[in-house]
Amino acid sequence: MLFRRPSTRFATIGLAVAALVLSGCAQSQRDEGSSDGGGTFVFAGSAEPVTFDPFFASDGETFRPARQIFEGLVGTKPGTADPAPALAKDWQVSDDGLTYTFDLQDGVTFHDGTDFNADAVCFNFDRWYNMPESAQTDDLTYYYGALFRGFATGDRADAAIYDSCTADDELTATIKLKKPFAGFIAALSLPALSMQSPTALKKYQDDSASNPRTTEYSTSHPTGTGPFEFESFERGKQVTLARYDDYWGEPAKVDKAVIVAIEDPKARADALRSGEIDGFDLVGPADVGPLEDEGFTIVNRDAFNVLYLGMNQAVKPLDDIKVRQAIAYALNKEEIISASMAPETQPAIEFIPEIVNGFTSDVPKYDYDPEKAKQLLKEAGADGATIEFNYPTGVSRPYMPQPEDTFNVIRTQLEAVGLNIKPVADQWDPDYLEKIQGTKDHGIHLLGWTGDYNDTDNFLGVFFGAKTNEWGFENDKIFGDLDKARAIPTPEEQEPLYEDINREVMEYLPGVPLGHPVPSLAFDSSVKGFQQSPVQDEPWNTISLEQ
C-alpha cells in the first residue's frame, strides 16, 4: 500500500455529498400564495418566443405571451372561435362591407399609462400599412400580408385592401377598406393585429431595422393593454410576466406568470409530475391517459385543424376519380385515430372542422368499406397499382402528432385492398415540404393545417384556391366558387356558398380528410379556472392556484 487507499477516502467524500444532495429535497415547492390569490403560475411551452412584438410573428409559442400582454379590437367568445367584443365593445359594418365603425371600450390604458383611444387604434392600423419594404416578407409579416393583401409600398401595393382609419371621436374609430373582406372582424382577434402602445412604439421600436424582431421594443418593451405586463425575458431560461393591476377587465388572480420552454413532450409531462411546472401545452397522445389517471387535469381544445391524406392528381392513377374514391373507402378512420392521435379526436368528413363557417354534414361520405374499395379499383383497372406514399419524419405538429404511426396504419389498410404502396419517408425539414409543396414528385401524402382565425377561406382557400404542386389539379368550378365566396361581404352571406363548396370538394375528392386531432393541455390539480380556446385565445387572468 503506498498510501491510505485513495478509493476509501474518495468514497467517503462521495457518500457524504450524495447524502447532502438527496436530503436537499428536489421536489419543487409550488408557490401557491395565499387563499386570496397570488402566487406564480409556471407554464411550459415547446419553444421560446422569437419576439415580443406579435405583429412580426406567426407561431403559437410567440403568441402565447402575446395573448397575456396584448389585446385586439376583437376577441373570441370563451371556448369558441366566434368573434366577441374586446377592446371594441361594438361595431357596425356597412352594407357593401367596406366601412367598419368601432365603438371602443372606455377607461382602458396601456401598461405604460398611455390612454387607449381611437387615435391609438389608427396609429396601429397606419403603422401596419406603412411598413417599410424590408419588413414585407412573409417570414416577418405573414398575417398582415395574407389578410390585407398588401402594403402602402412594395410590389403588392395595388392589391392592398386597407384604405384608411379615422378617429371620429375619442372612442370611435372608422376603418375603410378598398375591397370587401368577410373575415375582417374575425381576423382582428389575431395576436398579430393587437393594439400596441403608440408611445412605446415611437420610443423603442424601429420597423425599418434589419431585424425588427430583435429591436429594443421587441425584446424588452412590448406594451399592450392585457392582464399581464412584460417583466423580463432571460433567453434560455424563462419569460416572466407580472399582473397589470390597472387592467380594464377581470384582473389576474396570480401575481406572476412564468413561461419556460421544454422541447420534448415527454419531458414536459415529467416536469409536471415532479412539480416543477403547473401546466403545459401539446400533450403527447401517449401521455394523455396516464396523466389523467395520475390525477392531473387534461383540457382538450376544440379542434380547429384538419389532417388529410392528399392525393396528387398529376401522378397516375390518382387522376382517376374511381381510384381516389377507392382509397377513401379503404380507410378505417377510427383505427387510424386510435393508433396515432389523442383519444378525443373526431373523424373528419370534410376539410374544415365543425366550428368553422360553412361546415355541413350534408356532404358525400366515404364510410369504411374495403369491398367497395376493391371493386372500384378493379373497375378503374388499378388493382395492384403501385402508389408512392410520402410521409414526414422528425416532426410533430398539433394536427399531426405522430406521422410515422399514422402512415403505418394507413399503409396497412391500403395494402389490404390490393394497392401496392411504396413508402417514401423524408425529413420534415428540409425535404418533405419542399417535395410536397414545391414539386410534383409525390403520390399520396400526409399533411394538415391549423386554422388561424375563423374564416373558411383560411382553410379551403389555402388548399384549393388555385392550382398547386401539392394537389396537382385544375378545377375551375371550385377555384371560381372560392373566388366568389371570398368577395362576399359577410360570413353569414358566405355560409350557403361555402356549404356548396364543401359538397363539391368532397365529390371531387382531391384528398381524404382524416381527422381533427385534439390538442391537449395538462395542469396540476391545484390550477383552477383555465379556459381553453380552439384558436388559443387563452389569457390567464382567470387562473388561480389553490392550495
When asked if residue 439 is in the footprint of other proteins (CB under 8 A), the reply is no
Residue 504 · residue 478 · CB < 8 Å: yes
CB atoms within 10 A of CB 15: 10
Handedness of CA 243, 244, 246, 247 (dihedral sign): negative
DSSP state of 529: -
Report the residue number, 51 or 456, with the smaller CB distance to other proteins: 51
Using CB under 8 A, which of 36, 95, 139, 158 touches other proteins?
139
Report the residue number, 16 or 84, with the smaller CB distance to other proteins: 16
What is the grid cell recorded at 75?
376577441
- CB-neighbour burial class of residue 477 (10 A; exposed 0-12, middle 13-18, buried 19+): exposed
When asked if residue 429 is in the footprint of other proteins (CB under 8 A), the reply is yes
Task: Give the C-alpha distances (Å, rounded to integers) separating 431 from 366, 437, 438.
Answer: 32, 10, 10
Report the residue number, 95 or 158, with the smaller CB distance to other proteins: 158
Task: Give the span between the Cα atoms of 271 and 279, in whole angstroms.
Answer: 9
- In angstroms, what is the minimal distance from the CB of 237 to other proteins? 7
**Short-list 357, 353, 355, 351, CA closest to 493:** 357
DSSP character string of 92-127: EE-TTS-EEEEEEPSS-B-TTSPBPSHHHHHHHHHH
When asked if residue 16 is in the footprint of other proteins (CB under 8 A), the reply is no
When asked if residue 430 is in the footprint of other proteins (CB under 8 A), the reply is yes
When asked if residue 290 is in the footprint of other proteins (CB under 8 A), the reply is yes
When asked if residue 34 is in the footprint of other proteins (CB under 8 A), the reply is no
Report the residue number, 85 or 132, with the smaller CB distance to other proteins: 132
Using CB under 8 A, which of 33, 51, 118, 226 touches other proteins?
51
- In angstroms, what is the minimal distance from the CB of 360 to other proteins? 26
Within positions 260 to 279, which residues make up the interface with other proteins, using CB under 8 A? 260-267, 270-271, 273-274, 276-277
Within positions 335 to 374, which residues make up the interface with other proteins, using CB under 8 A? 335, 338-341
Stretch that binds other proteins, among 87-95, 134-142, 453-461, 523-531 (CB under 8 A): 134-142
When asked if residue 235 is in the footprint of other proteins (CB under 8 A), the reply is yes
- In angstroms, what is the minimal distance from the CB of 496 to other proteins? 28
Within positions 65 to 124, which residues make up the interface with other proteins, using CB under 8 A? none
Upper half-sphere CA count for residue 63 (Cβ side, 13 Å): 20
Using CB under 8 A, which of 53, 426, 499, 538 touches other proteins?
426
When asked if residue 388 is in the footprint of other proteins (CB under 8 A), the reply is no
Report the residue number, 102 or 432, with the smaller CB distance to other proteins: 432
Burial state string for 97-121 with b = 16 or more CB within 10 A and e = fewer than 16: bbebbbbbbeebbbbeebebbbebb
- In angstroms, what is the minimal distance from the CB of 305 to other proteins? 11
When asked if residue 474 is in the footprint of other proteins (CB under 8 A), the reply is no
Stretch that binds other proteins, among 19-27, 91-99, 107-115, 246-254 (CB under 8 A): 19-27
DSSP state of 432: I
Upper half-sphere CA count for residue 343 (Cβ side, 13 Å): 8
